[in-house]
Amino acid sequence: MRSKSLVIKMKKEIRELENEMKKETVLEQLSEKCLHTFGCDLDEATKQQTYRAVCLVVRDILAQQRREFCSQYEKQHAKQVFYMSMEFLVGTSLHNNLYNLGIEEVFEEALHDLSVDLKDLYEIEPDAGLGNGGLGRLASCYMDSMSSMDIPATGFSLRYEFGIFKQKIIDGWQMEFPDNWLEMGDVWLIPRKEDTVEIKFGGKIHEWMEDGKLRVEQYDYTPVLAVPYDMFISGYHSNAVNKLVLWSAKSPNNMDMSAFSRGDYVKAIEQNAMAEAISKVLYPADDHVEGKILRLKQQYLFVSASLQSIVKSHLKHYDSLDSLPEKVAVHINDTHPALCVPELLRILLDDYGYDWDTAWDICQRTLAYTNHTVMSEALERWPEHIFREQLPRIHQLVAEINRRLVNYLNTVYPGDVAKIEYMAVIANNEVRMANLCLACCHKVNGVSKLHSDILTHSIFRDYYNITPEKFTNVTNGIAYRRWLCQSNPRLTEKLKEWIGDGFVKDSTALEGLMKYYDNPQVLEELRKIKQYNKQNLCGYIAKTNGINVDPHSIFDVQIKRLHEYKRQLLNVLNIMHMYCAVKENPNLDIPPRTFVFAAKASAGYFMAKQVIRLIDAVSKMINSDPAVRDKIKVVFLEDYKVSLAEIIIPAADISEQISIAGKEASGTGNMKLMINGAVTLGTLDGANVEIHEQVGDENIFLFGMTAQEVEQLWQKGYNPIEYYNANLELRQVVDMLTSGVLGSRFDDIQKSLLTNAFGAADAYMTLADFDSYVRKQEEVSAAYLDQRRFTNMSLVNIAKAGLFSSDRAVGEYADNIWHVKGVQ
Ligand code: 26W
């Protein structure tokens, strides 16, 4: 044993030495790259060209390491993970790659010789915004952890030409603009045209028996080509370099020459335009199904292309697909890739002649599914006719899966029509994608303890009762080397001084900070670092919003997608209350507070856009009111994205996690803010419950109903008017919505709170939790005045954040679901 670890250690040291890139080597490689790519010398290169040259040199280093890693895990016949997700919210990659490879410094020095500041190059890089929010970012954090843990893994998704829209707030209204990220972001993508795959849409199915076997053929279908592009995923000081494979759609025949020669040019290019449309743009819907045909085609294209390539490379190394479950773990990230179930079945049955039971068994043992939301409007159900029309063979297989499932359920729940219909994959002319995953996958998990409990006690209860062993929990985690070490270098350097640098690889080592709980120097240093980061954010706010905020005020931050269940409205109603309180009593002794909002609303989400308009109006009213602006400031930062979060999070004092209990599956922003020393103000929802378990009552501000109390109030019958009538403070702010004092009226928001005009009145119980929230916010003000106590709370949150590392979460997936190991 000793010798083995010695060898591993030696190998690592040799690689670090090898990697001990000399500044000269970097300069050499940069100038060569610049010359070969742009035909100019480095010192003549524009900043954009230098940026691309740097990225291309880093890409070469990754390509080299990738090849070594591939031969290593192939030699060991290691089991691989394939992470299927419609979204990967990668953000920027240059800083992360240089950091992970341990070559940031040498590149900094080399560029310095060229009087280029590496930081400027970081600014040039566009975010790869191939995701909406939590689900997409989680996928990217997990890719970073799998590489850092030397787990052979490939992410599969689509090469959207346009990522999440760019947001501008014009007269309070969110406006969306195309995100043409490939202009500068394509530098990380390597096309692999030789591995293009054909995908079949529509057409008809021809079945016939041949020597006792059913043969199936699809004809008259529309062929679309899926072209893979690779993005390397580096790991922190690890051997592994994994890949994110992004599929781009195009038509086999770029131009229909017969239409062309008829002069019908539009027809000539129509087919290709139709094909390319599939990977044109990310659907900006978060937690809300749009049910568009193009979305279904997006899902099938990346699922089919990915599974075809997985099967092809498996058969390169193994003689049959019998061993697929032993060598391949395919993970389905929410229901969006649920077509993996019938598509893998199709490949096994139609392309490799397996019988149903064997094929089904292979699917079950290969596939696993994670649920990320209980919101009914987010659970995907495809109209059966669209499903059948676009995917005729897949529909046949899903119908057969459903027939066999219903037969089985009739033996378990005989005669219980309602329950069987609820559990069926196809019912009421709809294909329920969650049930498809529940019926097939060998493991199903939620993303926080509370969420996984809610799944097994409510929406998936019937499946849980028949297959309890399938259900488990893996609480989310974050790539803290990005969200702490790279985003908050000052805190990271001090932590290394105080507790050593072991925490960079093993987050549980952060616990060591607890021994400084009462150390005044350390507490003072923590305050200084937070102040520095707050000053930095002030600079950004002044530059982008032209607002001067007080760097010594409490930075109270709510940054996440705009959604009614996340209750940004509750936050702004409290701000309106504080405004009234200060207006009524200008000598009110509260520490100055800056409320920072950042949030994108799905393009078609009307009420969410109204809330953004309200925040903007409140911000304008307060920031321009001399009587209050020294005490309260409100800022809405446009175009929230990964790289903006990396600026805001290190500067936060208060982390707003105020969703109605039972609706936020986990949250991951809460973890990023915690590890940067922000104190959570929240409900017992999602992972807030586990954050509370880690830090204890003294180091978190909890308020509001629990998930159970919400359920009980709902069952009992919730009437928001009662709260409105019973609470003067509440009535005052709700009336302000239409009083005109905000400069414009918000009748729709008021109606949504007090009437059933938009569905159930106050469906997210903002009024019910208002008083508890307002009181708790007062406690926050009081706590902040006691700097010693507040910094203690901040220290404990940093020290106890280790559990929320994505390395820990990936470790649990690897041990309990994927049954894979890191390659040594
Ligand atoms: C079909 C439209 C659509 C698109 C995205 C429906 C649902 C989604 C995602 C599941 C929404 C999402 O991002 N959910 C968030 O996932 C995070 C990672 O697990 C959790 O931390 C958040 O609580 C959850 O809201």
77-98+121-475 CATH fold: Rossmann fold (3.40.50)
The reported pLDDT for the residue numbered 1 is: 46
Which atom number of ligand 1 is nearest to the Cα of residue 664? 23
The alpha carbon of 306 and the centre of ligand 1 are apart by a number of angstroms equal to 22
- The structure tokens listed for 8 are 């591993």
Q: Using most ligand atoms within 8 A of CB, pick from 333, 372, 804 the residue to mutate for ligand 1.
A: 372
Atom of ligand 1 nearest to the CA of 289: 1
| Range list of H helices, 441-519 | 449-457, 461-466, 480, 489-499
Residue 430, classified by CB atoms within 10 Å of its CB into exposed (0-12), middle (13-18) or buried (19+), is: middle
Q: Which atom of ligand 1 is nearest to the CA of 336?
A: 1
Catalytic status, residue 560: yes
* Residue 271 · residue 256 · CB < 8 Å: yes
Would the CA dihedral through 440, 446, 449, 451 be positive or negative? negative
**C-beta pairs of 12-19 under 8 Å, 24+ apart in sequence:** 12/237, 15/239, 16/102, 16/237, 19/101, 19/102, 19/103
DSSP string, 784-815: HHSHHHHHHHHHHHHHTGGGGBHHHHHHHHII
Assess whether 213 carries a catalytic annotation: no
With beta carbons less than 8 A apart as the criterion, state whether 445 and 470 touch.
Answer: no
Task: Map out the domains of the chain as residue ranges.
Answer: 77-98+121-475, 486-704+765-811
Residue nearest to atom 10 of ligand 1 (CA): 372
Active site residue 22: no
Cα–Cα distance measured from residue 415 to residue 401, given in angstroms and rounded to the nearest whole number: 20
Which stretches within 149-202 are classed as H helix? 182-185
CATH class entry, domain 486-704+765-811: alpha beta
- CB burial of residue 258 (10 Å; 0-12, 13-18, 19+): exposed
Closest protein CA for atom 8 of ligand 1: 287
Q: Do 77-98+121-475 and 486-704+765-811 share a fold?
A: yes
9 is catalytic: no
For residues 502 and 509, what is the distance between their CA atoms, to the nearest angstrom? Answer: 6
561 is catalytic: yes
Q: Which of 88, 299, 334, 449 to mutate to test the pocket of ligand 1 (most atoms within 8 A of CB)?
A: 334
User: H or E element: which one contains 390?
Assistant: helix 384-390
Residues with CB under 6 A from ligand 1: 132-135, 138, 285-289, 334, 372-373, 378, 380, 447, 476, 664-668, 686
741 CB contacts (<8 Å, ≥6 apart)?
621
Q: Please classify residue 756 by burial: count the beta carbons closer than 10 Å to its beta carbon, then call 0-12 exposed, 13-18 middle and 19+ buried.
A: exposed
Token pair recorded at residue 151 = 């787990």
**pLDDT the model gives residue 545:** 98
Distances (CA, A) of 411 to 308, 406, 407: 35, 9, 7
The residue from 200, 346, 613, 672 that is catalytic is 672
Q: Give 290-295's long-range contacts (Cβ < 8 A, gap of 24+).
A: 290/604, 291/380, 291/381, 291/382, 291/383, 293/386, 293/390
Chunked into runs of 10 residues, the chain (824 residues) has average pLDDT values of: 61 55 90 96 95 98 97 97 98 98 96 96 97 98 98 98 98 98 97 98 96 93 97 97 98 84 84 93 83 93 98 98 98 98 98 97 98 95 96 98 98 97 98 98 98 98 98 98 98 98 98 98 98 98 98 98 98 98 94 98 96 98 96 98 98 98 98 98 98 98 98 97 98 98 97 97 98 98 98 98 98 98 93
Q: Whose CA is nearest to atom 21 of ligand 1?
A: 667
The pLDDT of residue 20: 56
Q: Count other C-beta atoms under 10 Å from residue 305's C-beta.
A: 27
Q: Which of 492, 668, 680, 683 is catalytic?
A: 668
